[in-house]
Amino acid sequence: MSGPIGGVPASGQPGGLPGSLEPNSEAPVSDASAAPAVNADAEQVGEAAVVESVAAARGPLMLEAVGLGKDFKLGRGAVLHAVRNVSFGLYQGAVVALVGESGSGKSTVAKLLAGQERRTHGTITLEGKPVEIHGGGAFRRYKRQVQYVFQDPFGSLNPVHTVGYHLTRPVKLHQPEVKDARKAVMALLEQVRLTPADQFVGKYPHELSGGQRQRVSFARGLAARPTVLLADEPVSMLDVSIRLEMLNLLDDLRKRLSLALLYITHDIASARYFADEVLVMYGGQIVERGPAEDVTQRPAHPYTQLLIASAPDPDNLGSVLKSANVATGGGAGRAGTVKSSTGGPAPTGCPFSNRCPLAEDKCKQNNPALQLLSSNRAAACWRLDVAAPQLAGGTV
């Protein structure tokens, strides 16, 4: 039922080791011109675990990233490792949640998958075929199949154009065979439950609520008839009261259209509710992954434990935290979000080492690879025996 996700060296990417950390940056930075003394071997931690995805039980593998990495050149030799060695799959009809705090690299992963950013490392395959980022017809077809819905429904619609205009353009572009574009637009509006559709088609963005604008954004993404939808914080800018309604809509679209869905969020509580599999990101890396229920009820990585302990979920998500080793520490921000008090991830070793209460010398020098906790769960931490003794013993 489930398919393996490729194992790759955890930090064996070319492009320089993380070195000094730029002020205000959230991801590790290396400075090629003035690299501090870092033991290169210490970063070579061998093969990451091959983790089966629970999402594979829903349907076939659509999109797969293996060893995905993105470095941003910041000038004067400094490089920001925004995404490092990220591997996962998106499966037809399944939701995979990418969870992490601001700056952890979530949107960059989505942009790499959407072809909006050029990857520095790794491979992407769509239905088994390698994807090359260039301007050819194959890439245009890829971009049609893999749609990215932006996190800002307010900024992504042009205030001078109607809903109908916003939807007619992608319909004409992506469905050239359609004779009656207006009819197709009406069908899209109905699909996202903006009904009666004829009352919405002539409206301008300022005449819509936040939730209605987000529905237009979804409709615009669906106009391309994608098989993969990358939803980047689709509810974070909406009133709490309508978030659940919006997630229900996305879930309904996933089912009806058999979409492979990447759900990006700060809010690990909503990931539990909504996703099949959860990937927890920190400092550009996946630090924990597994079935949503398991990860949220029995978090293994100290960072996941911290996220869950800060999540204002009525079930308190992880009652397991009563016995966890990690206190919530520095104040929580948005739901399930913990603000860094140290200015970002550690530049060397485990990215969480400058915030982790369990950190020891090894953590500051060596970046741990994902280790299997069971066939479909993994965490990247040297001290899982202490952080999650009930899991690390292989008794999952």
Contact 88, 53 (CB under 8 A): yes
Question: With CB under 5 A as the contact rule, which of the stretches 17-25, 28-36, 107-115, 309-317 interacts with Mg ion?
Answer: 107-115
By CB under 6 A, residue 100 contacts ligand ATP: yes
Q: Does 350 bind ligand SF4 (CB under 6 A)?
A: yes
Longest dimension (CA), the chain: 66
Choose, by CB under 6 A, the member of 235, 359, 370, 388 that binds ligand SF4. Answer: 359
Q: Does 146 bind ligand ATP (CB under 6 A)?
A: no
211 binds, among ligand SF4, Mg ion, ligand ATP, none (CB under 5 to 8 A by kind): none
**Stretch touching Mg ion by CB under 5 A, among 3-11, 102-110, 334-342, 351-359:** 102-110
Residue type, 109: V
AA identity, residue 329: G
Residue 284 touches ligand SF4, criterion: CB under 6 A:
no
Query: Residue 383 touches which of Mg ion, ligand ATP, ligand SF4, none (CB < 5 to 8 A by kind)?
Result: ligand SF4
Q: Are strands 121-126 and 228-232 parallel, antiparallel or unpaired?
A: unpaired
Q: How far is the CB of 287 from ligand ATP (least distance, A)?
A: 13
- Chosen from ligand SF4, Mg ion, ligand ATP, none, partner binding at 247 (C-beta under 5 to 8 Å by type): none
Q: Smallest distance, Å, CB 387 to ligand SF4? A: 6
Number of residues counted as binding ligand ATP (CB under 6 A)? 15
Does the protein bind ligand SF4 through residue 148 (CB under 6 A)? no
As a three-state string, the secondary structure of the chain is CCCECCCCECCCCCCCCCCCCCCCCCCCEEEHHHCCCCCHHHHCCCECCCCECHHHHCCCEEEEEEEEEEEEEEECCEEEEEEEEEEEEEECCCEEEEECCCCCCHHHHHHHHHCCCCCCEEEEEECCEECCCCCCHHHHHHHHHEEEECCCCCCCCCCCCCHHHHHHHHHHHHCCCCCCHHHHHHHHHHHCCCCCHHHHCCCCHHHCCHHHHHHHHHHHHHCCCCCEEEEECCCCCCCHHHHHHHHHHHHHHHHHHCCEEEEEECCHHHHHHHCCEEEEEECCEEEEEEEHHHHHHCCCCHHHHHHHHCCCCCCCCCHHHHHCCCCCCCCECCCCCECCCCCCCCCCCCCCCCCCCCCCHHHHHCCCCCEEEECCEEECCCCHHHHCHHHHCCCC
**Partner whose binding site includes residue 197, from Mg ion, ligand SF4, ligand ATP, none (CB under 5 to 8 Å by kind):** none
* Sites for ligand SF4 among residues 296-325 (CB under 6 A): 301-302
Least distance (Å) between residue 359 CB and ligand SF4: 4
Stretch of 101-109, 116-124, 216-224, 297-305 lying at the interface with Mg ion (CB under 5 A) = 101-109
Interface pick for ligand SF4 out of 223, 224, 381, 388 (rule CB under 6 A): 381
One residue of 29, 358, 370, 391 binding ligand SF4 per CB under 6 A: 358
356 is a site residue for ligand SF4 (CB under 6 A)? yes
Residue 262 as a binder of ligand ATP (CB under 6 A): the answer is no
Question: Which one of residues 105, 153, 299, 347 is an interface residue with ligand ATP (CB under 6 A)?
Answer: 105
* Cβ atoms 278, 292 nearer than 8 A: yes
Using CB distances below 5 to 8 A depending on partner kind, what does residue 352 bind out of ligand ATP, ligand SF4, Mg ion, none?
Answer: ligand SF4
Helix axes of 210-222 and 163-174: crossing angle, nearest 10 degrees: 10
Site for ligand ATP in 25-64 (CB under 6 A): 25-27
- Which of 148/382 has CB closer to ligand SF4? 382
Query: Does position 107 bind Mg ion by CB under 5 A?
Result: yes
Compute CA distances 27 → 155, 163, 238, 239, 296, whole Å: 25, 37, 27, 29, 24
- Among 103, 122, 211, 302, the residue binding ligand ATP under the rule CB under 6 A is 103
Binding site residues, ligand ATP, CB under 6 A:
25-27, 72, 80, 82, 100, 102-108, 266
Binding site residues, Mg ion, CB under 5 A:
107
Binding site residues, ligand SF4, CB under 6 A:
301-302, 350, 352-353, 356, 358-359, 363, 368, 381-383
